[in-house]
């Protein structure tokens, strides 16, 4: 059908979109909520690999292709096949048999090989003789030997049945294109070719039947036979059969089937109108071209509009009406979209398009209903693979998830925030960032907590020594920790702890909460200052894990590796309502800057300074720490902390590199200094009265003595009076 080099190049190119591209810079997932109107208006392209599964189905009982799958036209000398065959023979045969077979294959006379192989089982002897004839291009003799193998009782040909049927097909196919031994008329020659091709196709079909029956097929010849038969069908002009066979081969996990279909789309697209028009009468040809266009293969091909116009004029196949409607929609031809949808039935794609047309007509009720039917019609497991947007963002396109994501946009617009979050969260990793935005910025804290408690059970704890990378965390873990961080940020410390998955983070959350409570409840100012500083240190060292926003400004979802500017308030407009904008602005980070917890840490340290003796080392140390934590990110803020130290703090030797060479605060010494300062304050208050104070003290002492004596005298008088009464 095509040269080996062309097929190789196309196969490699065809496989590239199936894998995630490795780029030098960051890659970001597509976000539905970044451009809500665009998400609702866009219909994503399909995926050729998935569309192929609609062309042909796996053959029941036929094993999926493995590493031995034949790709005979990728190399001119068929070396892959030869290497695979030698490897299998080494494993299958005894040492003596393998040595003899190898010797026979070196011969150039098939009859001689048959005679010399008398010691071998019949199937090995006859097949090897046929292989010798095949190698000498004596296809008629080779076919005779392969037929003799297949004529043996089934019990005597278990190891070479599939080999013989497959090789028979190849020999007959080559005979069909070779010159006959005698001169034939043109009609007779054509008839001979047709008959040989039919015989070859029957042989390839037999190879599949034998493989399905359980006879040895270590070289995946049953799968390879599909491609061989497809090539013969093309030679006969039977494009529909060829496409179906290649599609079945692709469904058996054969890359050859996929690459061959890619090659056929290229060939069809470049046919002129007269060549292509009759082929478009066939359903498989229509489906293949529609699959190409819908998947945007060769998207820059100038022939694409021409092909679509020709498909519109061809007899409509009901199974592609929804795809033609989709292609019309993508071109902005909404009238044709509606026309094709009338024939499209109840497929998921058809209802998806109806929803989008309803939105164009501003009929949200109809759109919501159509979206619901579309989501129900698409199987949950249907996967169109990974795509790239115009901005090179990646999206794993599962139609049901995408549809529910678009439904979430409508739910947000009508204020049904819980439903919107649920629809986005059900996508798992696909639209996690959109789900996180609603969870973090739109839902109230109590709404989020009720949802998590009801719908998101805690994942099993990690085993001792087990680690889990950031990108390995399931959405349930991410959501629970998002809630835990939000609870900590909003001061609900005890509630936050169970939502952190690892024991280490739970302990850190517990310590942070205890420090914040100490800062509020300790009896002494120094004790409260110590609590503020402990909380500040945790906020700085583990702020991303304990306090970070999943999205902006901290980007905890990627470890904070890539950020942006988030200091602008959210503006209502388009599909973003004023109420949602208000909620998002009210829940924004304070300050709304990357790594916002650094400022939180610095301010906690500054609060600690408020409670410390200004001339203490601890006062200087906590301000030094605060300055260093935001230096290079907020120079003015760092300078303010330094200026406060200069105005109020003591001289310390390490202040020359303030913000960097900071000592840990000495709270014990700060306590001593506080008592010393209190004592000094009392002395200062009494100093003006130092001469009068002794006289006052003497007067007080004299008064005390006088009153003590008077009380004794009165007591004696009372006692005497009492005794007199009793007498």
In whole angstroms, give the CA distance from residue 475 to residue 402. 17
Give the number of other CB atoms < 10 A from CB of residue 368: 16
Q: Is residue 37's pLDDT more than 80?
A: yes
Q: Is residue 33's pLDDT more than 80?
A: yes
pTM of the complete model: 0.84
pLDDT digits (tens, 9 = 90+) for 677-718: 665 665 666 566 666 656 666 777 877 787 877 777 776 656
Q: Is residue 15's pLDDT more than 50?
A: no
Under DSSP, the state recorded for 438 is I
In whole angstroms, give the CA distance from residue 512 to residue 503. 14
In whole angstroms, give the CA distance from residue 484 to residue 467. 20
Q: Is residue 9's pLDDT more than 90?
A: no
Q: Is residue 12's pLDDT more than 60?
A: no
> What are the backbone dihedrals phi and psi of residue 566, each rounded to the nearest 5 degrees, phi first?
-130, 25
pLDDT digits (tens, 9 = 90+) for 513-539: 999 999 999 999 999 999 999 999 999
At 147, is the secondary structure helix, strand, or coil?
helix
The average pLDDT across 541-560 equals 94
Cis peptide bond upstream of 425, omega within 30: no
Cα dihedral sign for 190, 192, 195, 198? negative
In whole angstroms, give the CA distance from residue 701 to residue 32. 86
Give the number of other CB atoms < 10 A from CB of residue 366: 15
The average pLDDT across 665-688 equals 75
Q: Is residue 16's pLDDT more than 50?
A: no
Cβ neighbours of residue 187 closer than 8 Å, sequence gap 6 or more:
none
Q: At what angle do helices 334-341 and 348-360 cross, to 10 degrees?
A: 140
At 709, is the secondary structure helix, strand, or coil?
helix
In whole angstroms, give the CA distance from residue 57 to residue 60. 9
In whole angstroms, give the CA distance from residue 638 to residue 656. 15
In whole angstroms, give the CA distance from residue 545 to residue 521. 25
Tell me which residue has tokens 């946009």.
Answer: 409
Q: Is residue 38's pLDDT more than 80?
A: yes
The average pLDDT across 619-641 equals 95
At 715, is the secondary structure helix, strand, or coil?
helix
pLDDT digits (tens, 9 = 90+) for 332-370: 999 999 999 999 999 999 999 999 999 999 999 999 999
Dihedral angle of Cα 470, 471, 475, 479, to the nearest 10 degrees: 30
Q: Is residue 23's pLDDT more than 50?
A: no
Token pair in block for residue 260: 């061959």
In whole angstroms, give the CA distance from residue 586 to residue 570. 10
Q: Is 506 exposed, middle or buried (0-12, 13-18, 19+ CB in 10 A)?
A: middle
pLDDT band at 1 (very low <50, low <70, confident <90, very high): very low
Q: At what angle do helices 321-330 and 283-294 cross, to 10 degrees?
A: 30
Token pair in block for residue 479: 């959501």
Say which residue, 462 or 580, is predicted with more confidence: 580
Token pair in block for residue 291: 């699959």
Q: What is the pLDDT of residue 555?
A: 92
26-43 as b/e: b if 16+ CB within 10 A? eeebbbbbebbeebbebb
Cβ neighbours of residue 716 closer than 8 Å, sequence gap 6 or more:
none
Nearest to 647 by CA among 666, 674, 623, 670: 623
Token pair in block for residue 258: 């996929």
The average pLDDT across 393-413 equals 97
Nearest to 482 by CA among 556, 420, 538: 556
Give the number of other CB atoms < 10 A from CB of residue 589: 23
Give the number of other CB atoms < 10 A from CB of residue 337: 23
Nearest to 466 by CA among 431, 501, 511: 501
Which residues are 576's β-sheet partners?
Answer: 573
Say which residue, 41 or 390, is predicted with more confidence: 41
Which residues are 396's β-sheet partners?
Answer: 386
Under DSSP, the state recorded for 442 is I
In whole angstroms, give the CA distance from residue 559 to residue 544. 8
The average pLDDT across 23-49 equals 88
Are the CB atoms for 587 and 579 separated by under 8 Å?
Answer: no
pLDDT band at 190 (very low <50, low <70, confident <90, very high): confident
pLDDT band at 380 (very low <50, low <70, confident <90, very high): very high
Are the CB atoms for 601 and 633 separated by under 8 Å?
Answer: no
pLDDT digits (tens, 9 = 90+) for 644-656: 999 999 999 999 9
Tell me which residue has tokens 């390490």.
Answer: 654
Q: What is the pLDDT of residue 473?
A: 87
Q: Is residue 24's pLDDT more than 60?
A: no
pLDDT band at 85 (very low <50, low <70, confident <90, very high): confident
In whole angstroms, give the CA distance from residue 91 to residue 218. 10
Q: Is 163 exposed, middle or buried (0-12, 13-18, 19+ CB in 10 A)?
A: buried
CA 542 to chain centre: 26
> What are the backbone dihedrals phi and psi of residue 387, each rounded to the nearest 5 degrees, phi first?
-125, 165
pLDDT digits (tens, 9 = 90+) for 414-435: 999 999 999 999 999 999 999 9
Q: Is residue 21's pLDDT more than 50?
A: no
CA 264 to chain centre: 32
Under DSSP, the state recorded for 396 is E
151-162 as b/e: b if 16+ CB within 10 A? ebeeeebebbbb
In whole angstroms, give the CA distance from residue 106 to residue 683. 116
Token pair in block for residue 245: 């066979």
CA-angle at 274, arms to 271 and 278, nearest 5°: 95
Q: Is 173 exposed, middle or buried (0-12, 13-18, 19+ CB in 10 A)?
A: buried
Q: Is residue 437's pLDDT more than 90?
A: yes
**Which range is least confidently modeled, 78-92, 446-460, 495-509, 657-671?**
78-92
At 523, is the secondary structure helix, strand, or coil?
coil
Q: How far is CA 596 from CA 515, 552, 593, 633, in A?
A: 19, 10, 5, 10
Token pair in block for residue 707: 């009153």
Token pair in block for residue 476: 């349930």
At 294, is the secondary structure helix, strand, or coil?
helix
CA-angle at 263, arms to 282 and 311, nearest 5°: 35
pLDDT digits (tens, 9 = 90+) for 213-254: 999 999 999 999 999 999 999 999 999 999 999 999 999 999
Which residues are 606's β-sheet partners?
Answer: none
pLDDT band at 161 (very low <50, low <70, confident <90, very high): very high
Are the CB atoms for 6 and 373 separated by under 8 Å?
Answer: no
Cis peptide bond upstream of 591, omega within 30: yes
């Amino acid at each position: 059908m095509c040269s080996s080099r062309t097929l190789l190049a196309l196969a490699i190119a065809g496989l590239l979109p199936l894998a995630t591209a490795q780029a030098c810079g960051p890659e970001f997932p597509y976000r539905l909520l970044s451009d809500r109107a665009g998400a609702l208006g866009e219909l994503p392209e399909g995926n050729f690999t998935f569309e192929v599964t609609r062309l042909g189905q796996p053959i029941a009982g036929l094993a999926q292709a493995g590493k031995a799958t034949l790709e005979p036209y990728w190399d001119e000398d068929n070396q892959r096949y030869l290497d695979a065959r030698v490897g299998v023979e080494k494993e299958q045969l005894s040492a003596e048999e393998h040595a003899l077979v190898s010797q026979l294959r070196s011969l150039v006379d098939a009859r001689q090989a048959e005679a010399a192989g008398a010691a071998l089982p019949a199937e090995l002897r006859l097949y090897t003789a046929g292989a010798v004839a095949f190698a000498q291009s004596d296809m008629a003799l080779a076919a005779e030997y392969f037929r003799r193998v297949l004529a043996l009782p089934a019990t005597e040909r278990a190891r070479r049945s599939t080999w013989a049927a497959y090789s028979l097909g190849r020999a007959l196919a080559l005979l069909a294109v070779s010159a006959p031994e005698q001169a034939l008329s043109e009609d007779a020659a054509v008839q001979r070719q047709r008959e040989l091709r039919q015989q070859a196709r029957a042989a390839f079909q037999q190879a599949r039947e034998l493989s399905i029956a359980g006879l040895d097929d270590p070289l995946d010849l049953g799968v390879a036979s599909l491609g061989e038969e497809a090539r013969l069908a093309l030679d006969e002009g039977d494009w529909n059969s060829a496409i179906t066979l290649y599609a079945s081969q692709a469904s058996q996990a054969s890359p050859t089937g996929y690459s061959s279909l890619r090659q056929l789309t290229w060939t069809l697209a470049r046919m002129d109108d007269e060549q292509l028009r009759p082929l478009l009468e066939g359903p498989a040809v229509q489906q293949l071209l529609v699959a190409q266009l819908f998947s945007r293969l060769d998207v820059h091909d100038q022939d694409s509009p021409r092909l679509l116009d020709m498909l519109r004029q061809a007899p409509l196949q009901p199974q592609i009406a929804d795809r033609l409607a989709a292609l019309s929609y993508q071109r902005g031809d909404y009238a044709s979209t509606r026309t094709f949808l009338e024939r499209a039935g109840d497929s998921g794609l058809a209802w998806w398009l109806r929803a989008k047309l309803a939105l164009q007509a501003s009929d949200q009720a109809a759109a919501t209903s159509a979206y619901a039917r579309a989501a129900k019609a698409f199987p949950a497991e249907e996967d169109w693979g990974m795509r790239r947007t115009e901005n090179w963002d990646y999206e794993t396109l599962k139609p049901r998830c995408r549809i529910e994501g678009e439904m979430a946009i409508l739910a947000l617009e009508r204020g049904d925030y819980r439903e919107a979050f649920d629809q986005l969260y059900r996508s798992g990793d696909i639209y996690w960032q959109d789900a996180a935005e609603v969870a973090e910025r739109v839902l109230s804290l109590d709404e989020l907590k009720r949802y998590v408690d009801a719908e998101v059970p805690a994942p099993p704890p990690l085993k001792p020594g087990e680690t889990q990378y950031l990108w390995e965390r399931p959405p349930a873990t991410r959501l629970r920790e998002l809630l835990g961080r939000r609870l900590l940020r909003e001061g609900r410390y005890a509630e936050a702890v169970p939502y952190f998955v690892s024991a280490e983070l739970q302990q850190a959350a517990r310590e942070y909460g205890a420090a914040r409570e100490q800062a509020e409840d300790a009896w002494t100012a120094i004790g409260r200052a110590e609590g503020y500083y402990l909380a500040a240190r945790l906020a700085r060292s583990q702020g991303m894990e304990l306090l970070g926003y999943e999205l902006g400004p901290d980007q905890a979802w990627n470890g904070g590796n890539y950020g942006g500017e988030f200091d602008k308030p959210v503006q209502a407009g388009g599909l973003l309502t004023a109420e949602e904008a208000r909620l998002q602005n009210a829940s924004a980070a304070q300050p709304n800057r990357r790594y916002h917890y650094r400022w939180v840490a610095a301010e906690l340290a500054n609060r600690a300074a408020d409670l410390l003796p200004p001339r203490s080392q601890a006062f200087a140390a906590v301000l030094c720490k605060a300055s260093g934590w935001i230096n290079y990110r907020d120079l003015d803020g760092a300078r303010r902390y330094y200026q406060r130290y200069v105005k109020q703090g003591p001289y310390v030797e390490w202040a020359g590199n303030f913000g960097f060479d900071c000592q840990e605060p000495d709270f014990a010494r700060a306590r001593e200094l506080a008592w010393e300062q209190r004592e000094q304050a009392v002395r200062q208050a009494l100093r003006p009265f130092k001469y009068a104070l002794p006289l006052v003290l003497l007067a007080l002492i004299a008064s005390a003595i006088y009153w003590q004596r008077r009380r004794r005298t009165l007591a004696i008088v009372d006692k005497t009076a009492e005794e007199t009464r009793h007498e």
